[in-house]
Amino acid sequence: MKNQLNNFKNTLKIVLCFSILALSVSCEEAFEFELPEAGSLPDNTLPTANFDYIPNAVNFRSIEFNNLSTESTNYIWDFNGLGSSTDKDPSFTFDAGEGIYPVTLTSKDANEASTTVTIEVEVVDKFVAIPVTINNGDFNGGSSGWSFDNFTGGTTSAFNASSDGSFTNYDGSDNGAKTKGAKWTKATSAGAYLSSNTRYAYQAITVSPTLTSPVRNVDYILEFEYAIKTPAQAAGVAPGGNRIYAEILNGHFADGADAVASTPIVQFIADEVKGKRVHTTVQQKFRANASGEVAIMFYAVTDVDVYIDNIKVYAAD
């Protein structure tokens, strides 16, 4: 009986030991360090692919792509099978020119999750009119660039050189003092005073032609400043008033006599009398002819001194 009791006590001890062991083991598990991946969340913010594009300013065939994808780091571009790129913001030249090209962008994140977008890229040859540079438009070079090569029955002198031009520089900034300009007087006038001494300022220019098939109308603007002396500054009024003629001629002319006899595309009569040094800016629109070869011509009909300055021609837009 005593032995049995001892056995029971021993069994109890062993059971107790095992249960303590089991407890401590499970505790160890409970306090085990977390593995790096444990507790991390799945990436539910998946990439979205999107892009925009802008044609290159110089070459319309070259398209600059702007990646607007989110949550992504790797990119695969497919330019309609014509090429590919893994750049973020690639440029691609569609050598075949105008057309619609489906471009596919696949955006991937670092988990290789990806989305794809296909956008039709429109390559268009947008017309940009030829810019015109006027030779000696500020008259700082005297009459250089403004004379006819020859003039049957007249003079190739363009105008009277003048230091009484506009106060404005050619770039539009204020010079703070007068600049050089071009001048006409009664002796160099046309109209009632037409003579072999009548002077014409002439310059041939080339513009983008107006086309009829397909229709493409090209408009330009002739800009200049002018001033006419008031009666208080100088007496005398020419028949029809003191005025300056600004014309765009339909073609290039080697002989001044032919130019004067031609019918201009457009004629503007500048006749606001505000006085010497008070310049008025004129912007006269004209449509280019079919050849694109046009010419600027200025002359005056006046009793008093008149002035022009800062001649410009640019595309109307």
Partner 1 sequence: MKKYIKFLIFTITATLFVSCNSDEFLNPLPDTVIVAETFFQTDADVLSGVIGIYDAVQGVNENTQSSSVRFNRGVQLEYLLTEHRSDNTRSKTLEGSRADFHRYIVEPENIQSEDYYQSMYEIIFRANNVLKYVANADASNINKYTAEAKFLRGYAYFNLVRLYGAVPLLTRVVTSEEKELLFTRVDVAKVYEQIVLDLQEGTTNLDNAHKSRASKAAAQGLLAKVYLTQPTPNYAGAKQMCEAIINSGDFALETDFRNVFYNELNNEIIFAIQYASGDPNESQGFSSEFTSYKRQGRQDGLNIVNPNLAVDFINNGGNRTGASYAAFGDDANLPIPEDAEVIKFLPLGSDISDTNLPTYGDQPGNAGNDWIILRYSDVLLMHAEAVMQGNDTNDANAIDSFMKVKVRAGFDAITDRPAVLTVNTLLLERRVELAFENHRFFDLLRLGVAHDVLGAHATLKGYTSYNIRRLLLPIPSREINLSEGLLTQNPQ
Given the rule CB under 8 A, which residues bind partner 1? Answer: 41, 43-45, 50, 52, 54, 66-71, 89, 172-174
- Please tell me the distance from the alpha carbon of residue 53 to that of residue 66, in angstroms, as a whole number: 6
- Residue-wise DSSP of 218-232: -EEEEEEEEEE--TT
Q: Which is nearer to partner 1, 65 or 184 (CB)?
A: 65
Q: Shortest approach of partner 1 to residue 50 CB, angstroms? A: 7
Q: Which is nearer to partner 1, 42 or 239 (CB)?
A: 42
Q: Which is nearer to partner 1, 172 or 214 (CB)?
A: 172
Q: Shortest approach of partner 1 to residue 51 CB, angstroms? A: 9
Q: Shortest approach of partner 1 to residue 228 CB, angstroms? A: 16
Q: Shortest approach of partner 1 to residue 19 CB, angstroms? A: 24
Q: Which is nearer to partner 1, 67 or 136 (CB)?
A: 67
Number of Cβ atoms within 10 Å of the Cβ of 235: 10
Nearest alpha-carbon partner for 165 in 206, 87, 224: 224
Burial class (CB within 10 angstroms; exposed 0-12, middle 13-18, buried 19+) of 15: exposed
Q: Shortest approach of partner 1 to residue 69 CB, angstroms? A: 6
Q: Shortest approach of partner 1 to residue 127 CB, angstroms? A: 19
- Please tell me the distance from the alpha carbon of residue 149 to that of residue 284, in angstroms, as a whole number: 26
The Cα-based distances of 4 to 7, 16, 17, 163 in angstroms read 5, 18, 20, 137
- Please tell me the distance from the alpha carbon of residue 247 to that of residue 223, in angstroms, as a whole number: 11
Q: Which is nearer to partner 1, 44 or 59 (CB)?
A: 44
Q: Which is nearer to partner 1, 199 or 279 (CB)?
A: 279
- Residue-wise DSSP of 9-46: HHHHHHHHHHHHHHHHHHHHHHTPPPPTTTTPPP----
The Cα-based distances of 123 to 65, 177, 196, 295 in angstroms read 13, 49, 56, 35
Tokens of 243: 């005025």
Q: Shortest approach of partner 1 to residue 54 CB, angstroms? A: 8
Q: Which is nearer to partner 1, 47 or 256 (CB)?
A: 47
